[in-house]
Structure 1
Amino acid sequence: MENFLPIAYLKNRFLPFQDATISIATHALHYGTGAFGGMRGIPDPQNPNQILLFRLDRHCQRLSASAKMLHFDLPADKIQQTIIDFVQKNKPTVSFYIRPFVYTSGLGIAPRLHNIEKDFLMYGLELADYLSPEGVSCRISSWCRQEDRSLPLRGKISAAYITSSLAKTEAIESGFDEAILMNTQGKVCEASGMNIFLMRNGTLITPGFEQDILEGITRDSVLTIARDLGIPIQERPVDRSELLIADEVFLCGTAAKVAPVKRIENYQLPSDRPITLQLREILTAVTENRSEKYRDWIFPVPV
Structure 2
Amino acid sequence: MSERHVWKGGTVAQLQRPELAYMNGKLVRWEEAVLHVGCEAVTRGLNVFEGVKAYWQPDGSLSIAMPRQHYERLARSAKLLHLPCPVTYAEYVGAIDQLAGALAKSDRDLWARTTLFGVSGHWGEDTVADLIVTAYHQDKSPACPIHMGVSTWRRSADIALPPRIKTGSNYEVSRLARIEGRAQDCDDMILLNSAGRVAEATASCILMVRKDTVYTPPPTEGALESITVDVVEALAASLGIAFVRRPIDRTELLIADELAICGTLHEITLVKSIEASPIYGKTPVLGALQNRYLAAVRGEQPHPAVEMVALASVKSAAT
Give the structure-2-normalised TM-score: 0.87
- 2:115 aligned residue: 101
**Residues 71-115 of structure 1: CA deviation (Å, up to 9, x unaligned):** 213333332232223323434432111011111112x6x6x2222
> Are 2:76 and 1:62 aligned?
no
Distance in 1 between the 2:310 and 2:92 partners? 16
- Which residue is 2:240 aligned to? 230
Structure 1: runs of 5+ lacking an equivalent: none
Match runs of 1:203-242 below 5 Å:
203-242=213-252
- 2:72 paired with 1:41: no
Corresponding position: 1:88 with 2:101: yes
**Counterpart Cα distance in 2 of 1:58 and 1:241:** 33
Inter-partner Cα distance in structure 1 for 2:178 and 2:105: 29
In structure 1, distance between residues paired with 2:127 and 2:306: 38
Decide whether aligned partners of structure 1 residues 133 and 92 sit closer, same or farther in structure 2, where only a CA change above 3 A counts: closer
1: distance between equivalents of 2:311 and 2:140? 22
Q: Is 1:118 matched up with 2:129?
A: yes
Report the alpha carbon displacement of residue 61 of structure 1 after superposing the two structures with TM: 1.2
Distance 1:139 1:169 in 2: 12
**SS of 2:77 mapped into structure 1:** helix
Aligned residues of 1:10 and 1:20 also touching (Cα < 8 A): yes
Residue 295 of structure 1 deviates from its aligned partner by 7.7
Tell me: CA distance 1:246–1:57, structure 2 relative to 1, closer, same or farther (3 Å): same
- What's the offset of the Cα at 1:22? 1.9
- Deviation of 1:298 after TM superposition, in Å, equals 1.1
Contact 1:164–1:193 (CA<8 Å) still a contact in 2?
yes
Q: What is the CA–CA distance in structure 1 between the aligned matches of 2:149 and 2:297, rounded to whole Å?
A: 30
Between 196-205 and 69-78, report the one with greater CA deviation: 69-78
Partner of 1:189: 199
- Name the residue aligned to 2:317: none
Give the alignment partner of residue 265 of structure 1, picking from 275, 278, 282.
275
Which letter does structure 2 place at the counterpart of 1:211?
E
* Partner Cα distance (1:24, 1:293) in 2: 45
Q: Secondary structure at the match of 2:180?
A: helix
Find the residue that maps to 2:126 and give its secondary structure.
Answer: coil
Aligned counterpart, 1:284 = 294
- Paired residues, number: 297
CA distance in 1, matches of 2:85, 2:302: 35
Letter matched to residue 47 of structure 1 = D
For the pair 1:171 / 2:184, whether they are aligned, the reply is no
Instruction: Report SS of the residue matched to 1:184.
Output: coil
Q: CA deviation at 1:296?
A: 5.2
The RMSD of aligned alpha carbons is 2.0
> Any idea what SS the aligned residue of 1:115 has?
strand
- Offset from partner CA, 1:132-182 (integer Å, 9 cap, x none): 733111111000001111123222111111001001111012211110010
Q: Secondary structure at the match of 2:233?
A: helix
Contact 2:212/2:285, CA 8 A, preserved across alignment: no
Listed one character per residue, the Cα deviations across residues 271-294 of structure 1 (whole Å, up to 9, x for unaligned) are 100111111111111111111333
Give the Cα separation in 1 of the matches to 2:90 and 2:81: 18
1:129 to partner: Cα distance: 7.2
3-state SS of paired residue (2:54)? strand
Residue 8 of structure 2 is matched in structure 1 by: none
Deviations 1:12-69 (A, max 9, x none): 222222322222233212211111110111333x233x21211111111111222222
Q: TM-score, normalised by structure 1?
A: 0.91
